[in-house]
Amino acid sequence: MADLDNTDRTLLRMLQRDGTLALAELAEAVNLTTTPCWKRLKRLEESGILRQRVALLDPVKLGLSFTAFVQIKTSNHSKEWYHCFVETVSDFPEVMEFYRMAGEYDYMMKVQVADMAAFDKFYKKLVNSIEGLTNVTSTFAMEPLKYTTALPV
């Protein structure tokens, strides 16, 4: 792990819970004045440890309660195909996460949509946008049991 001390870890844990905390609140929690606290945050940002601060939205309240996990096999592993595939899939707003895998499947993605009809539309768009897919398998989440964006620092 990166060279982090307890103060850095505390700041990161706090920001993972609430990215809107004011600098003064953060500084007070770690017993620093605002300037050294700001410098620590700046160092964490510049090192890439603190990548961005975002708002987390509730998919159910936005009408996007259908979660699918799509696993893909391909027969084409060329550099050109890979770049085209990644670029195409990355442009789909329904794809929340996208991974190249080791094991039985080559790729996996998490897809968030309104319902089965919306997923079917996404699925058709996916398979008609990319040549060389040999197997596309989908599973659907019935109930989210744990969801976090907080890393264990």
- 130-143 pLDDT, tens digit per residue, is 999 999 999 999 99
Q: What is the pLDDT of residue 1?
A: 56
As a whole number, the mean pLDDT across the chain is: 96
C-alpha–C-alpha distance, residues 37 and 153, integer Å: 18
pLDDT at residue 17 is higher than 90: yes
pLDDT band per the 50, 70, 90 thresholds, residue 40: very high
**Whole-model pTM above 0.75?**
yes
Residue 135 falls in which region: left (phi positive, over 0), alpha (psi -120 to 50) or beta: beta
| 29, 32, 33, 35: CA torsion to nearest 10 | -110
